[in-house]
A and B are shown apart, each in its own frame.
Chain A
Amino acid sequence: MAVLQWIQDLPISAAIAESDSLWWGYAWWLFVHAVGMGLTAGIGFIVCLRLLGVGRQIPLSSLRVLFRLFWFGFYLNLVSGTLLFMTDATGIARVWELYAKLLCLTLALLAMSRLRRFVDSTESDRTIPPAIQKTAVVCLVLWLAVITSGRLIAYAVEARGAVA
Chain B
Amino acid sequence: MFKRLLAASLVVAGTLGIYTTVQAADTIKIGFSIPKTGLFAPAGPSQLNAYLVWQDLVNAKGGLDIGGKGRRKVDFVHYDDKSDPAQAVKIYEKLITSDKVDLVMAPWGTQHHFAIAPVVERHKFPLIGNTAASVALRKVKPGYLWFTTPMMPDNLAKEMTAMLKSRGVKSVAIMYNLLQFASENVQFLKPALAKAGIKVKFEAKYPPDIKDMTGMLTKIKAENPDAVLVHSYPGDSILYMNQAREVGITAKTQYVMVGPAIGFFRGMFKSNLDGIITMGSWTPTMKGTMGAGEFYAAYKKKFKGHEPDYLDSAEVFVSAQILEQAIAKVGLDREKIRGAINSMTFKTIYGDVKFKGVQNATIPAGFAQIQKGKIEIVWPKQRATSSVTDKGAWAK
A binds B: no
State the B residues within 8 Å of A (CB): none
The chain A residues found within 8 Å of chain B, CB to CB, are none
